[in-house]
């Protein structure tokens, strides 16, 4: 039997300024109303489909901020403001940012939105009604299409299409917060029902091997350029793991069995920390498997089974994702009609099952659970619905959570030494290679050193949280590749706030 394990990774960077409680970007809110809840509602129609969802604690924390009204966000504030009262700067901001969604798949579905898009492109002046319609359509279009059909008020406004009033806008924004409030209860319900398993990621999504020791980059790739100041804080790596486990327990009452290491980044050094936290399994990329076993050729026989990491500190199971199948869904199938994409995927599974006839194998699809769907027709509903329908009827495939499979088929093979690396080229160059990334690690190291001088417990708690946020992978991912500079500004903001918290002068380079 071919057992198929989907692991959907749900994550957003930590956008909130701890001191002002302002979120610099709206993506937690907007992806929250588009991608997290509907993934479960699609599953509800197909009870035979079992899956694993990975929820990053810092994402859930930010979702809860919106529900509780404890975060401010410029996009939301400018949406709420009456269109007739917008200042010139606010109008400029709205024109620049309120078309931030896929033109082909989303904007083009709303004739009025497309009309406004063309009007902006032609540099024609917007009226107060234009701005009001844009405020409504930006927020309405980000809401999942299934919710726009399901909720009466949203259905009515979608049909109205234009000439919205301020009351219409309030209804859309209130519905957004309502949807955010349903996310966590839905995950709890599906988890308790057994159809899904929920795994976790270290709290603020750090690259654990690099937080443990930036020399890990050299281990993964001898040509890697290292920062002039080594960053090596195993205690931080341990805390990011333990804080995530404790957060999970506070939300779901039980401990997590699985962990998705941020960016599927692993090394030998971090394994004891994960074991000590009581985690039973982790997931990484297939390239890590072959690099660990020093195999130059792809071996699907080794890939399609779990492996055991048996160390002095304990035991840990590890599964490896099929990169090709994961990337087909993530980056290729949106270009095809749903029936053709699903047919291609099922064909791959059929060929694989035939090649392993008479054997039980595990094929793991591990990928981003939110960003792909914006490029699909109907936000991926057509593709996923047809896929789940086909899988439900398949005689040679059974979907499974990772823990369900491990309980039935414990690993038979061990990995003596786990290679250092991530899902990108089995190394860490995406986060530490170029001069900008290296400089960011040096600035982080300088700030982290200051943490050791703090004696005040309350101040230490806030400062430690700010450092852990600055250890997140997203800032380093973008250095040297950030066209708008948003992540550069966020990283500087987080580090600047660290110095404010410890009441020291902010280094000039952060300005």
Q: Indicate if the pLDDT at residue 490 is higher than 90.
A: yes
Residues 186-219: tens digit of each pLDDT: 999 999 999 999 999 999 999 999 999 999 999 9
Q: Indicate if the pLDDT at residue 433 is higher than 90.
A: no
Final residue before a domain boundary, out of 356, 391, 414: 414
Residues 87-133: tens digit of each pLDDT: 999 999 999 999 999 999 999 999 999 999 999 999 999 999 999 99
Residue count (the chain):
511
Count the helices and strands in the chain (H runs, E runs).
25, 12
Q: Are residues 88 and 157 in the same domain?
A: yes
Which of 318-328 are b and which e, b meaning 16 or more Cβ less than 10 Å from the residue's Cβ? bbbbbbebbeb
Per-residue model confidence (pLDDT) at position 202: 98
**Do the Cβ atoms of 18 and 465 come closer than 8 Å?**
yes
Q: Residue 118 corresponds to which tokens in the numbers above?
A: 């063309």
Q: Are residues 492 and 399 in the same domain?
A: no
Sort residue 106 into left (φ over 0), alpha (ψ -120 to 50) or beta: alpha
Q: Indicate if the pLDDT at residue 60 is higher than 90.
A: yes
Residues 68-100: tens digit of each pLDDT: 999 999 999 999 999 999 999 999 999 999 999
Residue 328, domain CATH: 3.20.110
Strand partners, 337: none
Per-residue model confidence (pLDDT) at position 480: 86
Q: Look at residues 477, 5, 17 and name the one whose alpha carbon lies nearest to residue 262.
A: 477
Per-residue model confidence (pLDDT) at position 61: 98
Q: Are residues 144 and 207 in the same domain?
A: no
pLDDT band at 444 (very low <50, low <70, confident <90, very high): very high
Cβ-based neighbours of 475, under 8 Å, separated by 6 or more: 13, 440, 487, 488, 490, 491, 494
Number of compact structural domains in the chain: 2
Q: What is the mean pLDDT of residues 251-279?
A: 98
3-state secondary structure of 264: helix
Write out the residue range of the structural domain in which residue 63 sits: 1-187+294-414
Final residue before a domain boundary, out of 357, 379, 414: 414
Final residue before a domain boundary, out of 380, 414, 448: 414
Query: Alpha carbon of 294 to those of 222, 267, 298, 315, 462: distances in Å?
Result: 16, 15, 11, 22, 44
Residue where the block lists tokens 């170029």: 434
Q: Are strands 314-321 and 307-311 parallel, antiparallel or unpaired?
A: antiparallel
- pTM recorded for the entire structure: 0.98
Per-residue model confidence (pLDDT) at position 56: 98
Query: Alpha carbon of 413 to those of 145, 159, 292, 318: distances in Å?
Result: 45, 57, 13, 11
Q: Look at residues 292, 296, 285 and name the one whose alpha carbon lies nearest to residue 323.
A: 285
Mean pLDDT, rounded, of the chain: 97
Quick check: is 194 in a domain? Answer: no
Per-residue model confidence (pLDDT) at position 207: 98
Q: Are residues 400 and 432 in the same domain?
A: no
Q: Look at residues 70, 50, 36, 44 and name the one whose alpha carbon lies nearest to residue 182.
A: 36
């Amino acid at each position: 039997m071919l057992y198929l394990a989907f692991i959907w990774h749900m994550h957003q960077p930590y956008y909130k300024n701890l001191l002002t409680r302002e979120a610099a970007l709206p993506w937690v809110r907007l992806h929250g109303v588009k991608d997290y809840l509907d993934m479960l509602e699609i599953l509800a129609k197909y009870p035979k489909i079992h899956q694993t969802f990975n929820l990053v604690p810092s994402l859930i924390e930010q979702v809860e901020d919106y529900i509780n009204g404890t975060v401010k966000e410029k996009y939301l504030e400018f949406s709420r403001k009456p269109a007739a009262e917008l200042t010139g700067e606010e109008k400029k901001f709205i024109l620049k940012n309120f078309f931030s969604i896929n033109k082909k798949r989303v904007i083009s579905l709303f004739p009025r939105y497309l009309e406004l898009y063309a009007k902006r492109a032609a540099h024609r002046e917007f009226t107060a009604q234009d701005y009001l319609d844009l405020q409504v359509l930006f927020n309405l279009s980000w809401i999942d299409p299934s919710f726009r059909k399901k909720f009466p008020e949203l259905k009515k406004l979608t049909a109205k299409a234009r000439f919205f009033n301020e009351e219409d806008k309030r209804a859309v924004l209130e519905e957004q917060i309502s949807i955010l409030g349903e996310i966590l209860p839905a995950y709890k319900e599906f988890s308790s029902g057994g159809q899904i398993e929920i795994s976790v990621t270290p709290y603020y999504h750090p690259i654990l091997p690099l937080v443990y020791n930036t020399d890990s980059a050299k281990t993964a790739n001898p040509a890697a350029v290292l920062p002039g100041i080594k960053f090596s804080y195993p205690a931080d790596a341990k805390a990011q793991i333990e804080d995530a486990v404790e957060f999970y327990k506070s939300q779901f009452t039980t401990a997590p069995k699985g962990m998705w290491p941020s960016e599927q980044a692993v090394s030998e050094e971090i394994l004891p920390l994960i074991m000590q936290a009581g985690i039973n399994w982790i997931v990484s990329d297939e390239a890590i498997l072959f690099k660990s076993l020093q195999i130059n050729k792809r071996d699907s026989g080794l890939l399609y089974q779990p492996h055991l990491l048996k160390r002095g500190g304990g035991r840990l199971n590890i599964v490896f994702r099929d990169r090709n199948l994961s990337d087909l869904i993530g980056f290729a199938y949106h270009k095809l009609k749903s029936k053709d994409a699903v047919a291609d995927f099922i064909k791959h599974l059929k060929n694989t099952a035939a090649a392993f006839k008479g054997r039980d194998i595990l094929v793991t699809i591990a990928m981003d659970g939110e960003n792909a769907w914006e490029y699909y027709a109907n936000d991926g509903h057509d593709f996923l619905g047809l896929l789940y329908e086909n899988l439900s009827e398949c005689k040679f495939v059974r979907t499974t959570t990772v823990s369900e499979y491990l309980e039935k088929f414990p690993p038979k093979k061990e990995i003596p030494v786990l290679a250092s690396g991530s899902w990108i080229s089995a190394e860490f160059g995406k986060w530490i290679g170029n001069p900008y990334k290296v400089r960011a690690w040096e600035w982080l190291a300088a700030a982290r050193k200051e943490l050791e001088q703090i004696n005040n417990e309350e101040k230490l708690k806030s400062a430690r949280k700010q450092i852990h946020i600055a250890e997140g992978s997203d800032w380093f991912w973008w250095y040297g590749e950030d066209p708008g500079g948003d992540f550069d500004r966020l990283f500087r903001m987080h580090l600047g706030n660290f110095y404010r918290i410890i009441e020291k002068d902010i280094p000039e380079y952060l300005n």
